[in-house]
Amino acid sequence: MKIYHISAECYPIAKTGGLGDVVGALPKYQNLLGIDSSVIMPWYDKPFLREHLGQEVYTGQILQGNQSYHFSVLKLKKGVLGFEVYLIKIPGLLDRQEVYGFPDEVAQFIAFQHALLRWICDTNMAPDLFHCHDHHTGLIPFFIENCYDFQALKGIPTVGTVHNGQYQGWMNWENAELMPAFDISKGGLLDWYNTINPLAAMIKCCWAYNTVSTGYLQELFIEANGLEGLFVSEKAKGYGIINGIDDDIWNPENDPFIEANYAAENLIKGKQQNKKTLCKQYGLDFRLPLLSFIGRFAIEKGADLLAPAIQEISLKFKGKVNVLILGSGDSEIESLIRQIQFELKQNIAVIIGYDERLSHQIYASTDFIIMPSRVEPCGLNQLYAMKYGTIPIVRKIGGLKDTVVDLVRKNPNGIVFKEATVKDMISGVRRALTLYNDSTRLNELRKRNMGLDYSWNNSAAKYVQLYQNLINRL
């Protein structure tokens, strides 16, 4: 079985969030199950690629409106990632350092999808199934069925994974001109309320869609940034498959980024040593409980609640807890967090930016990870946290609800609070501090969390089963 994952991100080549982690791990675990799973992604001007790029496998040309673009398909050197990666390089469009945020993003992702299908058609490289990730690749199921140039691919099954339904890739109808010629009578499949909506097109045209947790799937039926009706009407082909974590990268026993490696047997000593180093680096007293947030400063992640919650923590639990924040994003949220740091000075560390190495060090050192998300399709941070013997404090939503079991329930692994409000966050923190003072229970929980299996093994097999079912339908 030959599968192509099509994605804008793939760790460690390019990652801005969880999508990169998933696409950087899932194909590897699927190959271990005996299928042939590879990734097709845009080429970026990144150091990792300069170092590991192999040969060019194809050159071609596409037309966008009146503009013609040459493109090439490059392959990553064999054996670098445990799966093949093909990179689409289009000088003038897909040749930049950053993944997102350009004014011509619409043209970039249309060209990416167009070029990769052109190459596959021309080289008889057709897979048994296309697995598309998020709206950047959402036009593929439509293109292969309705574009005159891709008739050879018609009828190949497609799976569309929704990692985040908030972003849909909306574009106005003038952009249809940038697409490869398609059967205009099928144009309605691209449309959602008079705009081209690639995520909607993906849901309408793919053979099956899934979200990255069952909890999130249920939530999308009620609230999906305008697409809830569509998710409901296509419910029969919708699945929830929880993400896993890549144990080769996220494992305190051999993580090269952390000061002291540790396993469940010596977790107290190991975490303690890592915590001492991290706290020293940021001027925090390591004897106090450490509460951390890692992630994007976005409303969706509840990051706007951090500054007022820290304020409240400093009043209610003055000198009793340290808070550490690593993240970047919304500039308003960022400045509120900086301001609170400036005002408090004590018991707080803020690192603005994205730092993969530091994030590993935080999971290994911190006592608690807090996630006050308003929307959380799966959430990976709580899974990384557990793997490092850290206790997650999460809002009861999406994948967090599916993976974190509160202290009062059977087989707990964390603390769950109900609403994305400062009040509920504080009650979670209060319970965390009580737990911290009960070291026997705390260590029991930490140990249990380290033993939980959130690896990709189960979920990779679920996807393979889904592929098989779709292929069998042919």
Residues in contact with ligand NHF by CB under 6 A are 17-19, 22, 163-164, 212, 243, 376-380, 399
Smallest separation (angstroms) from ligand NHF to the CB of 219: 12
The two tokens of residue 8 are 């804008």
Give dist(CA 32, CA 472) in Å, integer. 21
Cis? peptide before 12, omega within 30° of 0 = yes
Number of residues that make up the chain: 474
The token pair that represents 117 in the structure block: 């299908």
Q: At what angle do helices 18-32 and 457-472 cross, to 10 degrees?
A: 70
SS3 category, 141: helix
Q: Pick the closer one to ligand NHF by CB: 212 or 422.
A: 212
Q: Taking CB positions, which residue lies at the least distance from ligand NHF?
A: 18
Tokens 């970047």, residue located = 328
Q: Residue 10 Cβ, how far from ligand NHF at the closest point, in Å?
A: 12
Question: In this complex, which beta carbon is closest to ligand NHF, that of residue 301 or of residue 360?
Answer: 301
Residue 326 Cβ, how far from ligand NHF at the closest point, in Å? Answer: 17
Closer CB to ligand NHF, residue 84 or residue 402?
402
Nearer to ligand NHF, 113 or 382 (CB): 382
Taking the complex as a whole, how short is the minimal distance between the CB of residue 135 and ligand NHF, in angstroms? Answer: 12
Any idea what DSSP says for residue 367?
S
Comparing CB distances to ligand NHF, the nearer of 164 and 449 is 164
Closest contact distance (angstroms) between CB of 24 and ligand NHF is: 11
Task: Between 22 and 121, name the residue whose CB sits nearer to ligand NHF.
Answer: 22
Select from 88, 55, 54 the least CA-distant residue to 69.
88
Angstrom distance (rounded) from CA 429 to CA 392: 11
DSSP 309-335: HHHHHHHHTTTT-EEEEEEEE-HHHHH
Q: Which is nearer to ligand NHF, 166 or 468 (CB)?
A: 166
Q: In angstroms, what is the minimal distance from the CB of 15 to ligand NHF? A: 11
Nearer to ligand NHF, 243 or 413 (CB): 243
What is the closest distance, in whole angstroms, from the C-beta atom of residue 290 to ligand NHF in the complex? 23
| Least distance between ligand NHF and beta carbon 473 (Å) | 26
Q: Which residues does 195 contact at the CB level (< 8 Å), separation at least 6?
A: 170, 171, 172, 173
Distance CA 314, CA 321 (A): 8
**Min. distance of Cβ 79 from ligand NHF in angstroms?**
26
372 versus 399: smaller Cβ distance to ligand NHF: 399
Asked if 243 contacts 11 with a C-beta cutoff of 8 angstroms, the reply is no
**Of residues 7 and 113, the one with the C-beta less far from ligand NHF:** 7
Phi-psi domain of 56 (left: phi exceeds 0; alpha: psi -120 through 50; beta: other): beta
Provide the β-strand partners of residue 415.
393
Question: Is the CB of 243 or the CB of 366 nearer to ligand NHF?
Answer: 243
**Rounded CA separation 153/143 (Å):** 9
Cβ partners under 8 Å of residue 17, min gap 6: 9, 296
**Least Cβ distance, residue 185 to ligand NHF (angstroms):** 35
Q: How far is the CB of 214 from ligand NHF (least distance, A)?
A: 13
Residue whose C-alpha is closest to residue 299's, from 192, 226, 225 = 225
Give the nearer residue to ligand NHF in terms of CB position, either 163 or 275.
Answer: 163
Give the integer Cα–Cα distance in Å for 208 and 238: 6
Distances (CA, A) of 210 to 40, 220, 276, 471: 19, 11, 42, 16
Comparing CA positions, the residue from 376, 455, 384 lying closest to residue 26 is 455
Output the smallest distance, CB 139 to ligand NHF, in A: 20
| Cβ neighbours around 70 below 10 Å, total | 13
Helix (H) / strand (E) containing 261 = none
CA distance 271 to 253: 11
Measured distance CA(136)–CA(50) in Å, rounded: 24
